[in-house]
Homo-oligomer: A and B are copies of this chain.
């Protein structure tokens, strides 16, 4: 069970209800009235808990698990130990996510405004907001209904935040418009000047950064990530895009809907990502590029050319993934044969 110091559990919930809300189907013979108390990983789940199986790496854990119930793909069902109540789903992880959210709904801080928050009288604060201690909110800013802002965060003048957002502690927002249901994790910095200047041996000349950052609805942005405002155009994060920790987004970057950008990735200025683009951890993307809808860039890659829609690239410099694998294999083969040659010679 999740540590009650940090999490409040709901339930029990019956298997039939879980199947319904999770988009899963009960396997033959499973009692829909059976009550489940909690969710847990395969290793620690007991007979009253629901778990899930999604990664073949963990087949041994599945076999040894004491979980009372498990969400699993139909094709994998025969791997489960006898007696485990199975909930069949083609997307077990998604189904598990929905089930787990029923047991552990997202906790929101209670509505209220800390006595020592510094809110400019011209700011527009909607109903039921939660504003933590030490927060400052500048002139003409707007905070949407039911949005929470964590302690000591700084919302600069003119910033607009939609409804139902979770803005963590120690965040700075300036020159930006944030949609509804956005989650920003601690330490996010959005809207500061981009790295825009004309290099000059007598002193680099700063270019005023006159754009904004537009963050769409339902985005999630990780801890200590930085997003610079546009230089003239805006920097745009499309609705439903998820960005991990310590990511850098340069000025004028436009990211489409539903993208996934893993930790420590950097995207240079004026690059455009289509919808549902995925970039692995520590990816690097040069400026002024275009990544088509559904494009993927492998972790640790360095992209210097466009990626067409749906294609997967990898390597430094990044090339189509098949070519990258071939290059890696070729070099390994050549290095092996050289060594063999040396040993033979």
Binding site for B on A (CB under 8 A): 2-3, 5-7, 39-41, 43-44, 55, 57, 91, 93-94, 96-98, 100-101, 103-104, 106, 114, 116, 118, 132-134, 136, 140, 150-152, 154, 156-158, 168-170, 172, 174-175, 183, 185-187, 189, 192-193, 195, 197-201, 203-208, 210-212, 218, 220, 222-224, 226, 228, 231-233, 240, 242, 244-246, 248, 250, 258, 260, 262-264, 266, 268, 276, 281-282, 284, 286, 288, 299-300, 302, 316-317, 319, 323, 326-335, 338-339
Contact = CB atoms under 8 A, between A and B. Distances in A.
A35 B197 CA distance: 25
Contacts of A183: 193
A331 B338 contact: no
Nearest to A200: B94
A263 B326 contact: no
Contact of A204 (B118, B245, B260, B317): B260
B152 A97 contact: no
Contacts of A41: 231-233
Contacts of A242: 195, 197, 204
Contacts of A154: 150-152, 169-170, 186
B319 A332 contact: yes
A109 to B, nearest CB: 10
A330 B335 contact: yes
A286 B300 CA distance: 10
A276 B201 contact: yes
Given A2-B210, A316-B316, 18 more contacts: A6-B158, A44-B233, A101-B205, A150-B154, A156-B169, A170-B189, A172-B186, A172-B187, A189-B223, A189-B245, A195-B242, A197-B220, A224-B224, A224-B246, A228-B245, A246-B266, A263-B268, A330-B335
